[in-house]
DNA sequence: TCCTACATGTAAGGTGTTACATGATTCC
DNA sequence: GGAATCATGTAACACCTTACATGTAGGA
């Protein structure tokens, strides 16, 4: 099983969805834990169906194309649970911005500041998106927000990680700009 | 040009190195901005050499195998500088732990706590590595640490990002454990 | 004697991105 | 008329990981 497969199961464990629905959830800016394109999602759903972890029903819609609505099976839920309980590897760090930062000494301070400010702007936007999602979540979840067996709880702690990471990124951007702008 | 190519140029812009040296720098736990295996590095160095961004000299060693020591060329430095000054995309988030967190509501609190504690331990270790690198850096760099045109400065701000990210990850792990362990 | 470090490569396979492909409806 | 959304797929390519391959020197 691929990691993407588990990402899809993780979404389907909450509610049935079409490939298109899943695509939207695994897209920027809300897919903050994993991203995927539809060209990866459709074949993966077919594989999950082939091994019995999901099933689907074709649903006809008025004025819109038919869609395949996928549902997780009991085996799918079991596979997902087993995977979740298995210790995870450390995240693969692959940040192009940090790579550029590492060679930032090669460019003029003005260019360096432009680069970091651009990132700052990006992360401000992303933080706003996450905070919006958080507001929605708090309103919808109610008391379930802090119940360990509620999907709302899992969404809540995942989102909090995203929010914390964005804040930390922002703080760092601002600190770097301060360093670059202070007179030598 | 691939991102890995720029990662290699970024290291070679600081000092000449063999493929093996570069491999060590792009490995866990010190390769905190980008990681790569030797099977990717050697062919990439050959490509960089083919397009004139690096050159190499074979260096014979007593009691150890010969090595190819690569040096960045003026064109290589120029290409790297141009790339650094170009706005970067937002980092691709691909964190298996967050993916598991998203489905954490499916497992018992005990299993969930074990998972998060395991990550906590990992990040404590990583943080210690980074803090060690930071100590080394401060001692070696001296006043250059805050000079924008010094590679030490770039290393410093990159490392600070890594340290901040690890601390944020740790705080989050501890917060989640608290939530999971508090009586329902 | 076996394992690790040094040192450099290739090959096969899996994962992910970009582009190709189609077709209806709704909004500007 | 053109672009965006809904909806699903395939194909080609780029990137990354794992495994294969070889050889010396030093330590346990």
Nearest to B120 by CA among B179, B167, B181, B180: B167
Q: How many CA atoms lie within 13 A of B162 on its CB side?
A: 34
* Total beta-carbon pairs less than 8 A apart between chain A and chain B: 211
Q: Tell me the mean pLDDT in the region B105-123.
A: 97
Which pLDDT belongs to residue B180? 97
pLDDT digits (tens, 9 = 90+) for A57-101: 999 998 899 999 999 999 999 999 999 999 998 888 899 999 999
State how far Cα B32 lies from the chain centre.
2
Which pLDDT belongs to residue A92? 84
User: Among all residues of chain B, which has the CA nearest to that of A170?
Assistant: B161
Report, in angstroms and rounded to the nearest whole number, the Rg of chain B calculated over CA atoms: 20
The two three-digit tokens of residue A41, written as one number: 């999602």
| pLDDT class of B183 with cuts at 50, 70, 90 | low
The two three-digit tokens of residue B19, written as one number: 């493929």
Which pLDDT belongs to residue B93? 83
Distance of C1' in D28 from CA in A180, Å: 51
Pick from B91, B122, B146: CB nearest A90: B122
Residue A3 confidence (pLDDT) above 70? yes
Return d(Cα A83, Cα A5) in angstroms, integer: 11
Residue B33 confidence (pLDDT) above 90? no
DSSP bridge pairs for A18: A69
CB-count burial class (<10 Å; 0-12, 13-18, 19+) for A7? buried
| pLDDT class of A183 with cuts at 50, 70, 90 | low
Protein residues with beta carbon less than 7 Å from any atom of strand D: A 18-21, 23-24, 38-39, 42-43, 45-46, 61, 64-68, 92, 94; B 2-4, 35-37, 39-40, 63-65
pLDDT digits (tens, 9 = 90+) for A17-67: 999 999 999 998 878 889 999 999 999 999 999 999 999 999 999 889 999
| pLDDT class of B54 with cuts at 50, 70, 90 | very high
Kindly state whether B99 is in contact with chain A, defined as any CB-CB distance less than 8 angstroms: yes
Residue B150 confidence (pLDDT) above 80? yes
| Mean residue pLDDT across chain B | 95
**What is the distance between the terminal CA atoms of chain B, rounded to a whole angstrom?**
54
Range B5-8 contact pairs with CB under 8 angstroms and sequence separation of 24 or more = B5/B44, B5/B47, B5/B48, B5/B53, B6/A99, B6/A103, B6/B79, B6/B80, B6/B83, B7/A99, B7/B33, B7/B34, B7/B36, B8/B41, B8/B44, B8/B45, B8/B48, B8/B54
Which pLDDT belongs to residue B62? 85
């Amino acid at each position: 099983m691929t990691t993407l497969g588990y990402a899809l199961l993780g979404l389907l464990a909450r509610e049935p969805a079409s490939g298109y629905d899943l695509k939207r959830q695994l897209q920027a800016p809300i897919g903050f834990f994993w991203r995927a394109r539809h060209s990866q999602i459709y074949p993966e759903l077919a594989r999950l169906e082939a091994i019995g972890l999901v099933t689907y029903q074709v649903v006809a819609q008025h004025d819109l194309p038919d869609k395949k609505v996928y549902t997780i099976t009991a085996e799918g839920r079991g596979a997902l649970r087993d995977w979740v309980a298995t210790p995870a590897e450390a995240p693969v760090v692959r940040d192009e911005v940090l790579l550029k930062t590492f060679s930032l000494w090669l460019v003029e301070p003005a260019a360096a500041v432009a680069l970091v400010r651009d990132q700052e702007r990006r992360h401000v936007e992303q933080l706003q998106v996450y905070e919006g999602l958080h507001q929605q979540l708090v309103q919808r979840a109610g008391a379930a927000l802090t119940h360990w067996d509620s999907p709302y709880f899992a969404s809540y702690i995942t989102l909090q990680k995203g929010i914390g990471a964005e804040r930390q990124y922002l703080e760092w951007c601002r600190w770097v700009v301060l360093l670059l702008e202070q007179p030598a």
